[in-house]
Amino acid sequence: MASFKFAAAALLSLGATSAWQTRTSFISSTPRQIQKSAIQTASLYRNHHALHKRSSLSMVVTDPTAPAIGKGGMFTASNAENRRVVPEDVRGRPTMKIVYVVLESQYQSSMTAAAKRINAGSDNMAVECVGYLLEELRNEDAFEQFKKDMAEANIFIGSLIFVQELAEKVTEVVQPLRDQLDAVLIFPSMPEVMRLNKVGSFTMKNLGQSKSVVADFMKKKKQEDGSSFEEGMLKLLRTLPKVLKFLPSDKAADARTFMMSFQYWLGGSPQNLESLLLMVGQDYVAPIKESMKGKDKVAVEEPVLLPDKAIWHPVAPDIVFETNEKYFEWYNKEFCPDAGIDPATAPTVGIILQKSHINTKDDTHYVSLIAELESRGARVVPIYSGGLDFSGPVEDYFYNSMGKPIVDTVINLTGFALVGGPASQDHKKAAAVLKKLNVPYMCAVPLVFQSFEEWQASELGLHPIQVALQVSLPEIDGAIEPIIYAGREGATGRSVPLADRVNLLADRAMKWANLRTKKAGDKKIAITIFSFPPDKGNVGTAAYLDVFDSIKAVLKQLKTEGYDVGDAPDSKEAIMEAVLNDPEARISSPELNVAYRMSTDEYYELTPYAKDLEENWGPAPGNLNSDGQNLVIYGKQFGNVFIGVQPSFGYEGDPMRLLFAKSASPHHGFAAYYTYLEKVFQADAVLHFGTHGSLEFMPGKQVGMSGTCYPDRLINSLPSAYLYAANNPSEATIAKRRSYSATVSYLTPPAENAGLYKGLKELKELISSYQGLRENEGRGPAIINSIVSTAWTCNLDKDIDDLPDLETYDAKNDTLERRDEIAGKVYAQIMQIESRLLPCGLHTVGVPPTAEEAIATLVNIAQLDRPEDKIEGIPRVIAASIGRDINDVYRGNNNGVLADVELNEKITMASRAAVRALVDQSTDANGRVKEVKNFFDEVGGIFGSLLGAKKPWTQAIINAGFPNVSEERLAPVFAYLEFCLKQVVANNELPGIMELLNGQFLMPAPGGDPIRNPDVLPTGRNMHALDPSAIPTTAAVEVAEDVVRKLLEKLADENDGAYPESIAFTLWGTDNIKTYGESLAQVLALVGVRPVADSLGRVNKVELIPLEELGRPRIDVVVSCSGVFRDLFINQMNLMDRGIKMAAEADEPLEQNFVRKHALEQAEELGVSLREAACRVFSNSAGSYSANVGLAIENGGWEDETQLQDQFLTRKGFAFNADKPGMMEQQADLFKSALKKVDVTFQNLDSSEISITDVSHYYDSDPTKVVQGLRDDKKKPMSLMADTTTANAQVRTLAETVRLDARTKLLNPKFYEGMLSTGYEGVREIQKRLRNTMGWSATAGEVDNFVFEDANDVFINDPEMQQRLLNTNPNAFRDMVTTFLEANGRGYWETSEENIERLQELYAEVEDRIEGV
């Protein structure tokens, strides 16, 4: 980088970042306009004297990228010594020592200046002052120094202390010293820190506990207008005189001092802080009070405060404007003409600023972005708020006098949530305010806890605390694009802009504004589809989405709204044909349609980072997406719409690359695709179509991209809308953060019961006959013999341990009880299969579910209890009507008690009938729900109840055989179901896509399982994850403890009462979002620690459960976190690591603490400390995802199982360590050492939509055979799965789960016929299940031979089925044939020679068909 001194000088003169780095902007203005505007803006900033007076630009004198000196905390290489002021000459004056702790560093320069001014100018006192950034207190050296400073302090000041474990550290030090300190001033912070306040007799000791005038006032304000704590404080300042009337006079004086102190602090300037220190010093610090006896007190100046909210501009003649009329009077008439901006046509960007940066004149980063936007020809409206609620200023300043929005895009530069900042947020209010404004809302992030260099060097990127406060929380408001735009300068703590990031932010804001202002007919849209694994039969891959049918719907909508879609066909097949087949190529060529050939010269000229890719891929064009001379872009253009195929990762079939611990860069073909979209096709926006592509998983930082991270380089300035499945919020969040995409959720197909077929159906009929004839000694035993025989034919002997032997058993020699037991166990198995939920078919965007499909979803919603909403599930209410507890019914059902299996089915059928009765009220003649009738408000309903008529759903349950069911107890669940029905059938997906393409604000919504959390519905909204500090919730901990109990009971039963010593766990991002942290809580429960929530309800610490209370040994765990979990929940990884280390360090008997036992053994074996040996939380290196086992299996790119196991160990062996949490450290030896002690491998299944053969993720991270290879005795660990997809949570073996999945999906006509009805995509979905089933053979060896044999019978041995598959998608059918041959060749499937020969012949036939022979 050029000399920073030169850059600072350029910044000083320009007030812009363009001096640091040249970057081409791709925005709608012409280059000449931009150049003219940029030159005029620069000259305006250079000549304006006001800037030099009021901006901190002139104070930036050190290189922000130079390494900070001194020891730092985890991420924080800053040093409190830079904030220490010691008087040079005391001159006999008493010295007061002030220690302050703040969240951010903008107060540093003002405090330093204030202390120096007092030391130079006061006759009464001298000041020694030292400040700490909150995050520095994690560092032990810094914390020890803080303790020493506090022991000598007179005054302690704290502000915005909102991180629980650090709030505890502050309290731990300050609380014991409180009485000896002359004053303690705490401004908005956690309640336990606020209670430390002490100014004379004024305290907040009772804050949040009992009555106090201050607390009552705060409570009242919160009730009146939802004010946050800080808002309440600000309002209290304004009403101070009224409040003080109620206090005794000495208390009034002390309370007034506290409130004045807060005003000075909010004022933030050196003058205000000087007044604060003088006032508190002369009134409360004993040595100063003593020395001033007989002297007049210094008259302290009143606080110099800016208005609470206003518009600020760095070169305005007035400091701030309190109305936008006054602002535009100056801005439009004086500033814009001089800057070359046309107020009539310029896009307008609203900017939200933090007042403390303006008060403390720490505003360079703000000035920089404002200048960059204006140099691109935009107007700006920069607003601030004195508190943490920005909704008021947004309402006041972003509309004109007619109530019309005047901004085209909004950028929040504070990084905080719109309402409530880091403390307590009101996301609903924020989203409502933003929706009313209805423009794109970007929330950019300044570095707070890291220096530039630490962030640049960190693979993780942004500090985890900042991710939680300044990325996760704004996303819940609906914010997009968390771009880092500024950092701190080491020595002074001042904010400095990051040149290339500010440029990017300005470019992207202009592009979003452009979507608002450009005519629809002129806009260019690039629809990007995926092909995974890369093959012609897989083009248009997306989870549960009928991609080409959905594209048809989107094209139709675009056309309706005036977009130019050229001659786009109006049939799914024709669109598919246009993209898939190159008319110039040979018939049925494997080549897709070529939209553009990019020469290597053009590629290198337009792709600034192309040379960096050569390290991994050699010089362009390479052999991927290339014809040997050019890079090839696949796709098809229709008018202004381009449908393109995103290239793949490129290393899927390369065993060496799959083994690398860190993922390779994108290849030249991938880079060329995005270069084409942005610079050749010149798209105004890209719509990524479905879950999911590769862009967001390219190497780079986890969160807080730099200009060298590949997702950032690839997407560059292109606005991205991304259609993502509503049940996958975790990967959608990765797309939001790493590829700057605004997500639009789509519905997954409604889940239906799997039903029964063939022998399974016959079994149910036999059991039904047996129930009527069980006591008939002639017929009863004969039926049982048939049940046993058919159960063997259906391979149920694998699931029923004591199924009688087929050869020797005769039921007539058995007792009635034993016959009932056999019937009950078989019945339980087939009911488990029949009631298993499976999504049927594929979803098409914009097509809401039919009434029948809505019933299937509502039945599942209705079975769950929701205690937090005081809602009982229908099964619980029905069971209660006959004096039974539903949990007892489930238990009996699971144990095969015939009466309970029957009752469970009867309750299920009654629930379904009741839900059908509800939906029938609103169903039209076409079987669709157009408008949901509100049965609870209907007049007819009232008359009906007066006449004693039952509601239709109650009547349905009575008719099903439960006459005593309570209508009153059913009311809450049916009111809830009525609300859910409205959400299920709402159609918002196409409107959601269009809102983004039209540059509007898309409402936020949680992602997850719509059955557990119906707030996920309606889809078509901007999906977010959850506040990571909110998990695990109390409810999740309760469910987790129940699952752990069942798991340990099952293991103890099968192991003569002995507990396992170590369990290998896999944690997934989406699962923990859907369940609010259930599997995370399971890990903590096994180890015997419990999560503890802080006073704001955030889970930031753990405590050890005493052994006596635990009642069993602490079980050791080895936790493998997915890359997505690592990105979203790094604070929870910290929580687990701290909990596990706590257990390892507990002085307990080794036979009662397996964590400690193993950690001691490993410490000795590896020669490390006990704490290091106790690292148990592992994942990929930052920026890398998965073990690549799925990639290898899906693409056939693996030689043997050893390769897969090596990939797992190499790629997943990066340890998280709470003692140095800024990195993921490669710890392969420790990982292997922990895994070799594992007795059990364990995963969770949490939703019916995604099961273990639907995706490759589950087996990709399964360590079963890895553990077997590492164990000294080579014994395969037991593999278990917890299934919490229904209210009846169960723990099964992996083999049982694979069988259940195969029977309900791959082998089930209801499933495969549903898939085949969608055509081309459906064949691919069936083949995917087969390939994933083989994946389990490879990683765990838990697939029964009959699964492959039966699948071969269904899809290959049936000539008619064979032809259907071949005609519908020949490429996918060829993959299916290959999978069968591979399963046999690798020893996973034993079958007849005849079957193998048929497959080989078929393979040759399909190849010829594809090649057009």
**Largest interatomic CA distance in the chain:** 116
Residues 6+ apart with CB under 8 A from 310: 320, 321, 322, 383, 384, 393
Mean confidence (pLDDT) of the chain: 85
610 pLDDT band, cuts 50/70/90, is very high
CB burial of 286-299 (b: ≥16 within 10 Å; e: otherwise) equals eebeebbeeeeebe
Which of 154-168, 767-781, 942-956, 1213-1227 has the least mean pLDDT?
942-956
Q: Which residue has the higher pLDDT, 52 or 295?
A: 295
Decide: helix, strand or coil at residue 517: helix
d(CA 100, CA 129): 8
Q: Copy the structure tokens of residue 1120.
A: 């493998």
Q: Copy the structure tokens of residue 1300.
A: 């259940």
Helices 779-793 + 758-773 axis angle, to 10: 160
Does the pLDDT value for residue 604 go beyond 80?
A: yes
Instruction: Write the burial class of residue 1049 (CB in 10 Å: 0-12 exposed, 13-18 middle, 19+ buried).
Output: exposed
Does the pLDDT value for residue 235 go beyond 60?
A: no
Q: Copy the structure tokens of residue 1265.
A: 């055979």
Does the pLDDT value for residue 5 go beyond 50?
A: no
For 545, which DSSP code? B
Residues 6+ apart with CB under 8 A from 49: none
Q: What is the pLDDT of residue 670?
A: 95
28 pLDDT band, cuts 50/70/90, is very low
398 pLDDT band, cuts 50/70/90, is very high
Give the position of tokens 């003692």: 1219
Q: What is the pLDDT of residue 585?
A: 39
Which of 713-717, 961-965, 1132-1136, 1376-1380 has the least mean pLDDT?
1132-1136
Does the pLDDT value for residue 1347 go beyond 70?
A: yes
Q: What is the pLDDT of residue 695?
A: 93
pLDDT (mean) for 64-92: 63
Amino acid type, 1037: V
Q: Copy the structure tokens of residue 884.
A: 């039974």
pLDDT (mean) for 486-493: 81
- The strand pair at 1214-1216 and 1224-1226 is best described as antiparallel
Nearest CA among 552, 1286, 611, 1169 for reference residue 886: 1286
Does the pLDDT value for residue 222 go beyond 70?
A: no
CA dihedral 497, 503, 505, 506 (to 10 degrees): 110
Does the pLDDT value for residue 23 go beyond 70?
A: no
107 pLDDT band, cuts 50/70/90, is confident
Give the position of tokens 């058919």: 790
List, in sequence order, every beta strand (DSSP E) within 44-108: 95-102
d(CA 1055, CA 1047): 12
1356 pLDDT band, cuts 50/70/90, is very high
Q: What is the pLDDT of residue 31?
A: 36
Q: What is the pLDDT of residue 145?
A: 95
Nearest CA among 1329, 1210, 1310, 1154 for reference residue 1259: 1329
pLDDT (mean) for 729-746: 93
Cα–Cα distances in angstroms (integers) from residue 210 to residues 127, 190, 219, 256, in the given order: 37, 17, 12, 21
Q: What is the pLDDT of residue 251?
A: 65
Q: Could you tell me how many residues make up the chain?
A: 1413
Instruction: Write the burial class of residue 210 (CB in 10 Å: 0-12 exposed, 13-18 middle, 19+ buried).
Output: exposed
Helices assigned H by DSSP within 186-228: 191-194, 213-225
801 pLDDT band, cuts 50/70/90, is confident
Cα–Cα distances in angstroms (integers) from residue 68 to residues 82, 105, 303, 500, 952, in the given order: 10, 15, 34, 22, 72
Q: What is the pLDDT of residue 945?
A: 54
d(CA 988, CA 401): 32
The answer to whether residues 312 and 350 touch, using CB atoms and an 8 Å cutoff, is: no
pLDDT (mean) for 368-375: 96
pLDDT (mean) for 116-143: 91
54 pLDDT band, cuts 50/70/90, is very low
d(CA 425, CA 478): 13
The highest-confidence range among 438-447, 947-956, 1195-1204, by mean pLDDT, is 438-447
For 471, which DSSP code? I
Which of 178-182, 497-501, 584-588, 1358-1362 has the least mean pLDDT?
584-588
User: Before 188, cis peptide (omega within 30)?
Assistant: no
pLDDT (mean) for 147-151: 96
Q: What is the pTM of this model?
A: 0.83
Decide: helix, strand or coil at residue 1231: helix
pLDDT (mean) for 1357-1372: 91
Phi, psi angles (nearest 5°) of residue 36: -60, -50
Amino acid type, 521: G
H or E segment at 769? helix 758-773
Which of 217-221, 258-262, 652-656, 1135-1139 has the least mean pLDDT?
217-221
Does the pLDDT value for residue 6 go beyond 50?
A: no
d(CA 1109, CA 1096): 27
**pLDDT tens, 1251-1308?**
888 888 888 888 988 999 999 999 999 999 888 777 777 888 999 999 999 999 999 9
Does the pLDDT value for residue 1114 go beyond 60?
A: yes
User: DSSP assignment of 1016-1030, as one string?
Assistant: G-S-SSEEE---GGG
**pLDDT tens, 1009-1036?**
888 888 888 999 999 988 777 888 888 8
**pLDDT tens, 1037-1092?**
988 898 899 889 889 888 888 999 999 999 988 888 888 889 999 999 999 999 98
d(CA 219, CA 234): 14
188 pLDDT band, cuts 50/70/90, is confident
The answer to whether residues 667 and 624 touch, using CB atoms and an 8 Å cutoff, is: yes
User: Before 1370, cis peptide (omega within 30)?
Assistant: no
Does the pLDDT value for residue 3 go beyond 80?
A: no
Cα–Cα distances in angstroms (integers) from residue 354 to residues 129, 131, 358, 385, in the given order: 25, 21, 7, 7
d(CA 652, CA 664): 11
Nearest CA among 1076, 984, 967 for reference residue 1025: 1076
165 pLDDT band, cuts 50/70/90, is confident
Which residues are paired to 99 by β-bridges?
130, 156
Q: What is the pLDDT of residue 1?
A: 32
